[in-house]
Amino acid sequence: MMKMQRRRFLQLAGLAAALPAMPRAAFALDYPTRPVRIVAGFAAGGGVDITARLIGQWFTEHLGQSFVTENRPGAGGNIGTETVVNAPADGYMLLLATVPNAVNASLYPKLNFNFIRDIAAIGGIIRVPMIIMVHPDVPYKTVPELIAYAKANPGKISMASAGNGSAPHMAGELFKMMTGVDMLHVPYRGQGPAMTDLLTGQVHLLFATAPGTIDYVKTGKLRALAVTTATRAEVMPELPPIADFVPDYDTSQWYGLCAPKAVPETVVTTLNREINAAIADPALGKRLEALGGEPLPGTPADFARLIAEETEKWAKVVAAAGLKPE
C-alpha cells in the first residue's frame, strides 16, 4: 500500500513539475487563439503600413484570428520596434520590419535594444526596387551624365529623400559613396512631400519607391534614369540598373515580419509557412505588384541573413557619410 502511495506521489509530483511548461507548449501549438497585432513603425498609408495590412488580411483569412495593424510611428521606426522588443514573446505582437531597422543600428548610437540580438526573424515578404527620378529640366538624362554633372558641379544637385535614414536616403548615400559625387541631401517627412517638390523643380533628384511614381514618368512630368536593383525590375523593365554603370551597386526597399526573440518556434514556423503561401498566391501577388514589389520568399534563416547583411552594409554607409539622427 505504501509503495503504491509513493508511486502515485511521484507521478503527481512529475506532473506538477511539468505544468509550467505545458501551457506554453499547448499555447504555441494552438496559435493563434486570440487577435494578433502587427506593429508598423511608420504612419498609415505608406509601404510598411500597406504591406502589414495585406499580410495581416491573409493571416486573418487563413489562421482563424484577426491580425490587426497598429501604427506606432516615430524616431525612424524605433518606437514601434522597441514596443515589439519589449512585448511578451508569445507571437501576439509582431513587427513589420524594413530597411530603417537595419540602418538604425548604426545611425542611432544609444538605442534601448539591439535589433539583431532582440528580434526573431520570421520571413521576408516583398522587395521593392527604387528608381532615380529627376525633374525634366535637369541636363542629365542617363546615370553616366548624372555622375559627370555631379562631379563637375559638387553640391549643386539637391537630392530629396523620404527622411533621414529612410530607404531612399540610404540609396542616395550609397550612390554618393560608390561614385564619389557630392549631392546636397534634402530630407522630407515622407516620400509624398519630397515628390511634390521634385515635380515643381524645388529639388532635382529623388531615389523613389515605385508606387505612386510611375505615372509621373509616363506623363512626362518626371524622368526616370535607372533602377536601384542589380538587374532590371519588372515594375519598369525598360530602365537599366545603376549597376550597369556603377558595378556592384544594389539596394531596394524590403519588408518582412519579425517577433520578440524568444517567440516559440512553432509560431515562427506557422507564420513563415503562411507568408510563403501568401506571396505565392496569384490574387495577393497582383496586389503586391501594385506596390512595385517582387516576392521575397524563404526561411526564417534566410530573412535573418538578409537583416544581418543589410545591417553591416548600411553601417559602412552611415560611417562614410557621417550621418547622424535628426
DSSP 276-320: HHHHH-HHHHHHHHTTT-EE----HHHHHHHHHHHHHHHHHHHHH
Q: What is the pLDDT of residue 29?
A: 59
Same fold, 34-128+254-321 and 130-244: yes
Asked if the model's pLDDT at residue 265 lies above 60, the reply is yes
Kindly indicate the confidence band of residue 6, based on its pLDDT and cuts at 50, 70 and 90. very low
In tens, the pLDDT along 267-280 reads 999 999 999 999 99
Summarize the confidence of residues 157-176 as an average pLDDT: 94
| Fold annotation for 34-128+254-321 | D-Maltodextrin-Binding Protein; domain 2 (3.40.190)
Confidence (pTM)? 0.85
| Fold annotation for 130-244 | D-Maltodextrin-Binding Protein; domain 2 (3.40.190)
Asked if the model's pLDDT at residue 9 lies above 50, the reply is no
Q: Supply the mean pLDDT for the chain.
A: 90
Q: Give which of 162, 105, 169, 99 is closest to 128, Cα–Cα.
A: 99
Q: Give which of 127, 136, 193, 133 is closest to 159, Cα–Cα.
A: 133
Domain spans in the chain, listed from the N-terminal domain onward = 34-128+254-321, 130-244
